[in-house]
Chain A
Amino acid sequence: MSLLVQTVILGLLVGGVYALLASGLTVIFGVMRIINIAHGALMLFGAFITYTLWRHIGLDPFAGVVITMIVMYGIGWALYFVTVRPVRRAPVTTSVLLTFGLAFFLEGVMGFIWGNNAVASRPSYVESSFHLGSFYFPKGLLFACLLAILILVALQMVFSKTWLGRSIRASASSEDAARLVGVNIPMVAAVTFALGAASAGAGGAVISILGSFLPGMQILWITRMLSIVVLGGLGSVPGAVIAAVILGVGESLVATYVSPVWSPALSIVLIFVILVVRPQGLLGTKLREDVAQ
């Protein structure tokens, strides 16, 4: 019983981290109707930047996350104008194939810059655990989860309390109507994509604290995030948070009771089940374009 509780605790903490990772992906889909398959690669990019800051300058990863987010925001902004903007209006196939190519391109670039060996940015103080009764909370995981929640809440504040957030939500619900009331659509799309990249980068910073990573992991991470987004309902942030927690706990259970090597397969099985049983996900609605005019 205590093993089960401990497993669930670890799963919940991981789920908090996953929530941050998936939120950017789902917001980008909601606003731009683009599935950014390069989101996993962007996340690892953030992880490597945090790692470099910690390793070579000695900046604590929890502080480095700010710089990482700023750099990733810039990269996201540039990527938007160079690659995504020209295909905004193109069919699904186009944007999917584009970001699929981008994912591998970024993986190669990271390999050139940082090499293909596993690294991690773990300050010594995260090695131990807090104990509460017979249960333990690994400090790294706990801090990482708290940081992820903090950033997620901050991003949500941007979305719900600022003019920018309102324009983003307006364009998500109807781009044409938003344009008519004066929302600068290209700017909103660029900011959304850049914020998505920044949140991926922040997620990467958090991941770099949790454990080792290497460029080749991008595709595993993207399937994990996609499963969260699909489970939560494409475009829904609250859905993504719930789904992230479910997946975190689920993976933790599989790793404990089946085998750690099969826990990545859980997200894939989850995708398959959800798309058959409830294609719109937990909190998603059916897409408007499915309805005939």
Chain B
Amino acid sequence: MKQNETTPKKPGFFSPRTMRYLPLVVIGLLIALFPVLTSNGYYQNMVIISLVIAIGAVGLNIITGFSGYPSLAQGAFLGVGAYTAAIGSINVGGSPFFWIPLAGLVAGFFAFLLGLLSLRTRGFSFAIITVSFLILVRIIAQNWPGLTNGPAGLTLPLPTWDRDFLNWPFHFALIVLLAISVYVAYRIRSTKFGVGLIAMREDEDKAGAVGINTPIYKMVGFICSAVFVGMAGAVYGYYLTFVDPIGMFGLLLSVQIILAVLLGGKSTIWGPVLGAFIIEPLNEFANNTLGGGNSRLVVFGGILVLVVLLLPQGIIPTVSKRITLYRERKQPGLTGSRIELCERPKPPRPEPSTEMVLEVRHLNKRFGGLQAVDDCSFGVPKGSITALIGPNGSGKTTVFNLITGMMTADSGEVYLEGKRIDHLPPWGRAHAGLGRTFQITRLFGEMTVLENLVAPLQEFTTGHLNHSAMSGEEAERAVELLGLVGMARYKDRPAATLSYGQRKLVELAQVLALEPRVVLLDEPAGGINPTLIERLGELIIELNASGKTFLIVEHNMPFVMGLCNPIRVLARGSTICEGSPEYVQQDQCVLDAYLGGDFVLEEKGASDA
């Protein structure tokens, strides 16, 4: 599907390409017009329940498939929607056209509350919160008779239309809801928002470091995942004309929705729909042939285990992978190209100004008994390539983490272009103009190289969420940056398949996509071959010539001394020496710090004698 989008030439309507989708279109039409085609109530009911599960699954896919947060409570939002419609239409009255959208809003509001609860937590706690919510709503429905009429349930008004068309309105309402939710999922997948969600799934801290406002992303994603299933729940309630705690807050429904997502293929657009239309017939089979009850538990619990173990990718990704492999069987793969070092004239280096673009003042950070950063102060002159060196354990990476907000300092201040930034979250600092790479590269492994480059956000606005990610200006700029580091040919490769050195280059390009005022590089030359180190050095000089400021942590001294000026030396968490490479190399404090204060061979020999 994605390949189709990126193909520049639009295929004609009757070309073999389009005709391949004909069977899918026919199946879609058959399902959409199902009650018109048959008056068999049993099958109509089956399709309606499949649609309900499909809407739930498409929604769940947004939070669990895209952003990787395991929500076990999707069934609960269905019940919340159904109860909203039931309570509203009984106590207040009025049209389903009012109560169905409201049910969506209420479900979205509950997701918002749960999202607030989980703001400070990660995957595990999210699973715990959602499973608790699943139980809590059922306890409330059972034990608050004033609102829900307890275990006896609530009866909704009967439909008023002709019996011949009994199921039509429900069916078509659900078709419309499914169409909207699939469109929303599709839209999310192709925007900056969707790329951001997937980036969070791959590495949430890193996502924050490239400017993604992770709490808002998580929250919006979770709300999107709940709204439509809430509305579907309301339709379902009207359809059954009866809601009770067991029927609406059945735990197995959540299992079935999860199963639909996993079976069809999580993180795909149509996988959850396909999964739903497989799950519901199975459900009928388990109910009618196997006797329901315990069989349903064994069947769906068991299948969930089996799918996780044996078909973790789901049907659609597995099949499409097979097809791609089959098509590409005779094409040679991309091999690593040699990195060419051409003799380019060295660009004139800008004279570092005395104006500090980044300034650190009196930073302190203590881990238990260890003072990792001890009253550390230094500045990075505008237009310079500044190095931060020091022995292992001297606190370099911790200083980086404090500057970029991955950790919070115990005390001290960080200024970027004169503005204080130490109160900002990591993404806020990225928006302010900080970009960093990591000691061990942290690319979003399952995303393509190009997606890795469009994930960074230079600023956050709600409109930005809706920007197309993979086309237009952003993508062009991304390809340009990849060209700069010589990785353009790899743009459609998953980042995890790259070699270590290639990942370093892509990560540099990724940081540049932020258009940072200062680029922080954590051991750029660590673990890569000498040619690549040289290429990297050239690249940094070129970028510096075009006006970028760098702060580099590095152990490779020839690299540092040839590239950087000024140099800041860190030992035991504070700066002990600052100055030009020549000055620093002769400084006694630096020699002591690197070699150890008592490292004086001759004197030791003398005292022995």
Contacts and interface: CB of A to CB of B under 8 A. Distances in A.
Q: Is the pairing of A and B real? A: yes
Interface of A: 29, 35, 37, 83, 86-87, 90-94, 96-98, 100-109, 111-112, 116, 215, 219-220, 222-223, 226-227, 230, 234, 259, 261-262, 264-265, 267-269, 271-272, 275-276, 279, 287, 290-293
B440 A98 contact: no
A101 B305 contact: yes
B406 interface: yes
Nearest to A262: B143
Contacts of A87: 308-309
Interface in B114-170: 116-125, 127-129, 131-136, 139-140, 142-143
Given A101-B304, A108-B296, A265-B136, 4 more contacts: A96-B123, A259-B143, A271-B129, A293-B438
Contact of B305 (A92, A98, A262, A290): A98
Nearest to B133: A268
A291 B407 contact: yes
A292 B407 contact: yes
Main secondary structure of the interface of B (DSSP, over half): helix
B301 interface: yes
Chain B: number of interface residues, binned into ranges: 35 or more
Contact of A94 (B119, B143, B293, B308): B308
Nearest to A220: B135
B68 A91 contact: yes
Contact of B68 (A86, A92, A101): A92
B129 A100 contact: no
A293 B129 CA distance: 28
Nearest to A99: B305
Contacts of B299: 108
A82 to B, nearest CB: 8
A105 B132 contact: no
Nearest to A86: B309
Contact of B294 (A102, A111, A272, A293): A111
Contacts of B70: 92-93, 96-97
B323 interface: no
Nearest to B135: A223
B193 interface: no
Given A98-B308, A219-B251, A293-B439, A268 B298 contact: no
Contacts of A109: 294, 298
Nearest to B310: A86
B139 A116 contact: no
Given A92-B124, A103-B301, A107-B301, A226 B131 contact: yes
B444 to A, nearest CB: 13
B298 A108 contact: yes
Given A92-B123, A101-B304, A112 B129 contact: no
Given A96-B123, A261-B143, A116 B308 contact: no
A100 B297 contact: no
22 contacts: A94-B308, A97-B70, A97-B258, A101-B255, A101-B301, A104-B297, A107-B294, A108-B301, A108-B302, A111-B297, A116-B294, A219-B131, A219-B251, A223-B132, A264-B139, A265-B136, A265-B139, A267-B132, A276-B116, A279-B121, A292-B404, A292-B407
B241 interface: no
Contacts of A272: 117, 129, 132
Contacts of A291: 401, 406-407
A166 B119 CA distance: 35
Nearest to B134: A219
Interface string B335-356: 0000000000000000000000
A168 to B, nearest CB: 20
Contacts of A93: 64, 68-70, 123
B128 A35 contact: yes
B16 to A, nearest CB: 38
Contacts of B258: 97, 100-101
Contacts of B131: 37, 100, 219, 222-223, 226
